Amino acid sequence: MLLSKQAQAWRTHESWETLAKRAGTDKIENQYVKVYEMWLAPWRHEAVNSLEIGLGCDMQYGPGKCLRLWESYFTHRDVRVSFLEVDGECVKNRDMKLRNGTMFLGSLDDETLLEKIAAQGLAHGGYDIVVDDSGHTMDQQFTSLKALWPAVSSGGMYVIEDMHTSHIP
């Protein structure tokens, strides 16, 4: 019997790094490996509710790499992996489908959308993990943190990647 890649990852306990390399995400190049391996391990086989801001539509390696990473890393059948992406055409043209989660389309400047994302997270017990890998400016990082922090579950984590860009207003 052939097993899906997700089942294989669970069965062989492939590391976050191995799965990230297979997915083709830039999270390997940015040296997040040790941090993610350590902090995500307790949630690996749990019914995680996660949100990543930014699908990678503007990246040279192509969009959806983190989608593949998260859906293979988290093994529980009830895991929810959601994304917020500003480039709706990219999502539409690439036919991005989530196994169990929501693809939110819009800008970090849209407070109504951020409220909707927070409400949906809370409706599912809060986001266990939020990864902000999007706007990369201090204002955008602050806006998303302010709007989404109340929707992070007790004991959850909120990661802002690429903090070296935060000097850009």
Catalytic positions are 136
Measured between alpha carbons, how far is 35 from 166 in angstroms, rounded to an integer?
Answer: 20
Distance, in Å, from the CA atom of 169 to the CA atom of 160, rounded to the nearest integer, reads 15
CA distances from 106 to 55, 66, 84, 134 (A): 12, 18, 7, 12
Category of 62 on φ-ψ map: left (φ > 0), alpha (ψ -120 to 50) or beta: left
| C-alpha angle 76-141-126 in degrees, rounded to nearest 5 | 35
